[in-house]
Chains A and B, each alone.
Chain A
Amino acid sequence: MGRALIVDDEADARQFIRAVLEPDGWEIAEAENGQTGLEQARAFKPDLVILDIQMPEQGGFTMFNELKKEPELGNCKVIMLTGVREKTGLGFSGEEMGEFYGTEPDAYLEKPVQPGALKRVINRVTGND
């Protein structure tokens, strides 16, 4: 299938997504926050990044912004996972992110993540439907 990088500060969450993706043939790498995520992305060169928003050290939005500036990762698809809306009362639409960063993630999913929904979104975003 390709290479997928999972970035989430919760180990359980990373393991869950790995369990969803690996059976479909994805090669997996993991990172705990935006900073190590960026380092991994440069080394691993993923086709797909699944990115949690709220993380310590460096959060998802910041990493996403940095990722999009990387020359070799331009075609990488990014799916963002959010539970952040509950805490802050703020929700971000793709358009708002687009206006702010100049680019939007390929998809958003709200936690708790439904495995079927995740797979469908991945297929849609990577053109595998």
Chain B
Amino acid sequence: MPRNRTRSQESTSAEAAPRPPSIEHDRRALGDLTRVSEMVAGELALDVVLRSAMDAAADALNAEACSILLLTSPDQLTFHMVDGPQSSGLNRTQLPIDDGSIAGWVANHQEPLLVTDAYQDRRFNPAYDRRTGFRTRSILCVPLRARGEQVGVIEVLNRRDGLPFDTQDLEFGQAVASLIAVAIHNAKQHEALMKAERLATIGQTIAGMAHCVKNILNGLQGGSYMIDQAVDPEDGTQMADGWRIVRRNIRFLSNIVLDMLSYSKERKPVRRPCQLADLYQDVVELLQDQAAERGVTLTAASQVGEVRLDEAAMKRCLVNLVGNAIDACGKGGGLVELHDRPAETTGYVAVRVTDNGCGMAEEDRQRIFDPFFSTKGAKGTGLGLAVARKIVQEHGGVISAGSSPGRGTVFTLTLPTTPPDRTED
């Protein structure tokens, strides 16, 4: 993308005679600049800034029409605000950054352009006139730059007094453009900040609800347990079937909610001595029903014994991994194993979840830890593995996956047995 620094380019047709400078003119220009500044400075909503900027620019430069085009990708501009007769069809139209139009040329070369007779200029693209029914006579187009970055271009068309734009208009236009560019830049920054704040607030709200939600989940768990004690597993009545449906969906809902709670906040692990064998047993117990429904054999064994970790968080992590492994086995049965051994690096343990299920293609394997990526269609929230990875990383560990289609999958969690900030247990 050429960004040559050339002299300010002017039209190939006859040059317009510059107006004689006058104090009156300068005073008016200063007044106009002040008005432009007042109209755009202090506005923070992007659309409001763009609207004000266009009105201010058209006014200050005495133009019939004005457009602002914003940079929407490294090689593309988009009409963001268009004002003037018959212009509404152009809004949101995209335009490549190349020499095929005046605005494209200006963005490409980062130089302002004064075109006194549009139809005589090779760079002028009459297609937009054809779309709007407008007849362009002269054009003043200036790049919008703020803080060393390209923002887009501003273009004004047809001076109202019928004369073409001149070099004084060009100079004035550049002053106006620099004010507008800063205002747009600020508005965009503000937008980005608001978005980040909104996401943070959602995280806070979820965390705030968490205590209440966990008590509800506790109640569901408790009630489920009591009903399970009373229902014969062999019972084939509608009530027993209905109960199994409810129980399964309570499990789905609990998983989604617990994943969301895990994902929504940064969490420093609360490490306590934990027997891995007990942890695995808890995980197996939670997933027994799911495994039985699919005819999957679920086994767990620990060589390593006691480690220091955040048991509740690690349970969430393993439940997600083992649950996925069971789902990967499909309805025909299969084998899922949860086991560990000391890792090759001293002071670390390698926990592995293996299955002999459907496996995954390399392009999926590379994306599986991305939040909201799921291969399960409607049943997957896409958060399970993102949460698992978050938990492992918060423990100072690493998680990896090995797989091939039809041959099963292995997840390996390499976790420090001694927390990084303690030298002795």
Contacts and interface: CB of A to CB of B under 8 A. Distances in A.
A54 B211 contact: yes
Contact of B225 (A108, A111, A115): A115
A117 interface: yes
B73 interface: no
A16 B271 contact: no
A15 B211 CA distance: 19
Interface of A: 10, 12-13, 15-17, 19-20, 23, 54, 83-87, 89, 91-94, 108, 110-117, 120
B215 A83 contact: yes
Given A19-B229, A92-B270, A87 B217 contact: no
Contacts of B207: 86-87, 89
Nearest to A87: B211
A116 B218 contact: no
Given A19-B225, A92-B270, A111-B215, 17 more contacts: A10-B218, A12-B219, A13-B215, A15-B226, A16-B218, A83-B215, A86-B211, A91-B270, A94-B272, A110-B311, A111-B218, A112-B220, A112-B221, A116-B285, A117-B278, A117-B285, A120-B278
Nearest to A17: B222
Given A13-B215, A83-B215, A113 B210 contact: no
Interface string B268-298: 1011100000100110011000000000000
Most chain B CB atoms below 10 A, which of A17, A85, A86, A117: A86
A103 B271 CA distance: 18
B267 to A, nearest CB: 8
Interface residues of B, number: 31
Nearest to A92: B270
User: 8 tightest CB-CB pairs across the interface, nearest first?
Assistant: A16-B222, A86-B210, A91-B270, A110-B312, A87-B211, A12-B219, A83-B214, A112-B217
A24 B9 CA distance: 92
Nearest to A11: B219
A85 B312 CA distance: 11
Interface of B, helix, strand, loop or mixed by DSSP: helix
A16 B220 CA distance: 9
Task: State the majority secondary structure of interface residues on A.
Answer: helix
A12 B220 CA distance: 9
B225 A20 contact: yes
A121 B225 CA distance: 17
18 contacts: A10-B219, A12-B218, A12-B223, A13-B218, A16-B219, A16-B222, A83-B211, A83-B215, A86-B211, A108-B272, A110-B312, A111-B217, A112-B220, A113-B218, A113-B221, A114-B282, A116-B285, A117-B282
B265 interface: yes
Nearest to B268: A91
Given A19-B226, A111-B218, A112-B221, A87 B208 contact: yes
A89 B211 CA distance: 11
Contact of B254 (A89, A110, A112): A112
B125 to A, nearest CB: 58
Interface centre among A54, A112, A115, A117 (most CB of B within 10 A): A112
B261 interface: yes
A77 B51 CA distance: 70
B305 to A, nearest CB: 14
Contacts of B215: 10, 13, 83, 111
A85 B220 CA distance: 20
Nearest to B225: A115
B218 A83 contact: yes
Nearest to B308: A93
B211 A16 contact: no
Contacts of B272: 93-94, 108
A53 B208 CA distance: 17
Nearest to A121: B278
A115 B286 CA distance: 10
A94 B273 CA distance: 10
Contacts of B219: 10, 12-13, 16
Interface string B304-322: 0000001110000000000
Given A85-B270, A86-B261, A120-B278, A114 B221 contact: yes
A20 to B, nearest CB: 7
Contact of A19 (B220, B222, B270, B311): B222
Interface in B173-215: 207-208, 210-211, 214-215
A110 B311 CA distance: 9
Of B208, B278, B285, B312, chain A has the most CB atoms within 10 Å of the CB of B312
A87 B211 CA distance: 6
A15 B225 CA distance: 11
Nearest to A120: B278
Contact of B222 (A15, A85, A116): A15
B230 to A, nearest CB: 10
B281 to A, nearest CB: 7
A120 B285 CA distance: 12
A94 B425 CA distance: 13
Contacts of A112: 214, 217-218, 220-221, 254
